Amino acid sequence: MIAFKSVFKAFGPKKVLNGLSFEVKKGEIYFLLGRSGTGKSVSLKQLVGLLKPDSGEIFLDNQPLHTLTESQFGPIRKKCGLVFQLPALLDSRTVFENVTFGIRDLPLKEQIARTLKILKEVNLENLIEVVSSRYPPQLSYGEQKRLALARTLVVDPDYVLYDEPTTGLDPVTSRNVHKLIENVSKNLGKTAIVVSHDMRNALETADRIAVLDAGRVVDMGTPDEIRKSTVQLTRDFLADIREDKTR
Amino acid sequence: MEKKIEALNILQRQGQSPLGPVLFEDVSLSWEAPSLHVIMGPSGQGKSTLLKTLGGVWRPLKGSLKIANKSLWLGEELQDLKLLSQMGFAFQNNALFSSLRVVENLLFPHRQRFPEVAESERKDLAQDWLKKVGLEASAQVYPHELSGGMQKRLGLARTLILNPEFIFLDDPTAGLDPITSKIMSELISALLKGSNALVVIVTNDPDRARDWGPNIHFLVDKKLVSPGAKNYSSLTGEFL
């Protein structure tokens, strides 16, 4: 379980989080939705210790994170895998070296076994034969995104944090990435927090959606509840959407 | 001048390298102003490259490209630099100069293209455009102090201030939240209203494509599929 309790964070005069509170249950796919600059990505970074809250409390499986020092964050980062907005792969390393970057200390046999399993999970079976000869620039952008997800999952985190996973992707690839998030969460039993602007895919993928404005949650609910919401910002996000009922 | 882009069987490879994988081939089109064309398609398969090729940024590796009935390229050289001065290009990453203030970013290409314009006139023009895109209060700040949406608006204004005959916008709402994206879309439509230009916009966003339709083309499997083609409606279902 992840819990934010009245978290505040400012950068100079700019207040980004203004008493942010929410809870994510184990096994959930939880979307944090909101306009740019409302503190969505800042929340994710606080979970892995890249940023510290100014005040408030953050808990991961009942362990307080807001009191931890940098050196105490190691085990937390193994528990919470962060998938960046851009693939952030190492172009000069092979597919295998990229996937296994976070598990280099494990025996080679174990690294290979995990890599094979995870490549199948993220629909990159086509790379299994060429893991040691193919490099990221030789992959399509969609493959690079999936490889970045594989690199996060291979560490076997309990929680996967996605920072705008489909920004800049076409609608078809974007749908596929969301389907992948759903499959990975259900098949591997991961809890997912997805930071996004994409209400259409959130409605199809999320168990619950929180809508953020000015650093706090202004609306929260299941996709059905969100569809019926009367909160103006949520209505604004829903306004542009034409859901495809056939999907 | 007849404002027209004609491409005949153009081909482009990744990285514009003769050895790179083919991004698109046999792309032929004839688009005339005033009109607005939208290009959609899978990510990473050459939409931006096609836009840059049509806009004279990159040379097609095969085929011919005519702008206003004149060949743009002669071998590896641009044949007519004057043609380029009719084109305005807004890049996906905005390509702003981080060390220049907003107003200087806006005026940089204008100064290069119209050196004869008096500075007082140029400043008035800048004020006018900053107002049009809602950046009048940010004239003296640097690009990193702007939000993503403001940077996009500055990139757009820097393109349109040149009053180009051919306008190329590369994913002008990429990375914006849907509300900011809608505002940007409405701004683009308002600024282009009554324009006699030929406008080409690449987008990944089906809502924006519908805003700017109906001339929506799909770059799929190395081919450009335009309205009327036999597989067009299935692509419409997939992408829109």
Q: What is the mean pLDDT of chain A?
A: 90
Spatial CA neighbour of A112 closest among A102, A123, A99, A127: A99
Chain A residues touching B173 at Cβ < 8 A? none
Helices (H), A6-104: 40-47, 74-79, 95-99
Cβ–Cβ under 8 Å, residues A155 and A143: no
Please, what is the average pLDDT of chain B?
Answer: 91
Q: What DSSP designation does A50 have?
A: S
- The tokens describing B209, both together, are 């494509």
Compute, in degrees rounded to 10, the torsion defined by CA atoms A148, A149, A154, A155.
90
Q: What is the pLDDT of residue A13?
A: 82
Q: Which two tokens stand for residue B168?
A: 């190329």
Residue B65 CA to residue B9 CA, distance in Å, equals 9
DSSP 8-state class, residue B21: P
Q: What is the pLDDT of residues B67-124, one digit of tens each?
A: 999 888 888 888 878 888 899 999 988 999 999 999 999 999 999 999 999 999 999 9
| Interface contact A11, partner B, CB < 8 A | no
Q: In this prediction, what percent of chain B has a pLDDT beyond 90?
A: 68
Paired with B24 in beta bridges are B12
Largest CA distance in chain B: 55
pLDDT at A11 over 90: no
Tokens of A75: 């085990």
Residues of A within 8 A of B238 (CB-CB) are: 171-172
Distance CA A114, CA A119 (A): 8
Cis bond upstream, residue B34 (ω within 30):
yes
In a 10 Å sphere around its CB, with 0-12 CB exposed, 13-18 middle and 19+ buried, how is residue B58 labelled?
middle
pLDDT in tens, A130-178: 889 889 988 877 788 889 999 999 999 999 999 988 877 888 888 888 9
Contact B178 A169 (CB under 8 A): no
φ/ψ of B152, rounded to 5, equals: -60, -40
Distance between CA atoms of B164 and B223, rounded to whole angstroms? 28
Q: Would strands B216-220 and B73-74 be described as parallel, antiparallel, or unpaired?
A: unpaired
Q: What are phi and psi of A91, to 5 degrees?
A: -65, -25
Of A36, A169, A174, the CB nearest to B180: A36
Tokens of B215: 């001339």
Instruction: Write down the ipTM of this complex.
Output: 0.71
CA dist A39 → A91, A217, B79, B132, B228 (Å): 30, 10, 50, 29, 45
Q: Are B180 and A68 in contact (CB under 8 A)?
A: no
| Structure tokens that stand for A18 in this block | 């203004």
C-alpha distances in angstroms, B132 versus A48, B37, B54, B120, B211?
42, 23, 28, 19, 20
Chain B residue numbers with beta carbons less than 8 Å from the beta carbon of A41 are: none
At a CB cut-off of 8 Å and minimum separation 6, what does A99 contact?
A: A115, A118, A119, A131, A147, A150, A151, A154
From the CA of B67, how many Å to the nearest CA of chain A?
29
pLDDT (0 to 100) of residue B7: 96
Q: At what angle do helices A108-121 and A141-153 cross, to 10 degrees?
A: 130
| Distance (Å, whole) CA B132 – CA B48 | 27
Going by C-alpha positions, the residue among B83, B92, B1, B95 that lies closest to residue B39 is B92
CA–CA separation, A49 and A138 (whole Å): 33
pLDDT of residue A242: 60
Which of B43, B48, B211 should be substituted to probe chain A, the one whose Cβ sees the most A Cβ atoms within 10 Å?
A: B43
Three-state secondary-structure class, residue B229? coil
Q: pTM for this one?
A: 0.80
| pLDDT bracket for residue A19 (50, 70, 90) | very high
> In the numeric block, which tokens belong to residue A176?
């596929």
pLDDT for position A150: 93
What pLDDT does residue A245 have?
44
All residues of chain A having their beta carbon less than 8 Å from the beta carbon of residue B45 are 140
A119 within 8 A of A152, measured Cβ to Cβ: no
Contact A81, A157 (CB under 8 A): yes
Q: How far is CA A118 from CA A112, A185, B230, in A?
A: 10, 13, 39
pLDDT at A246: 41
Q: Judge residue A218's burial from the number of C-beta atoms within 10 Å of its C-beta, 0-12 exposed, 13-18 middle, 19 or more buried.
A: middle
The tens digit of pLDDT for each residue in A175-199 reads 888 998 999 899 889 999 999 988 9
pLDDT tens for residues A208-244?
A: 999 999 999 999 999 999 999 999 999 999 986 765 4
* Of residues A90, A88, A62, the one with CA closest to residue A76: A62
A74-124 tens-digit pLDDT: 889 889 999 988 888 999 999 999 999 999 999 999 999 999 999 998 888
A141 touches chain B (CB under 8 A): yes
Backbone angles phi, psi at A165, to 5 degrees: -70, -15
Cβ–Cβ gap A168/B43 under 8 Å: yes
A171:B204 CB<8 A: yes
- Cα A118–A123–A129 angle (5° rounding)? 75
Residue of A nearest to B211 (CA): A240
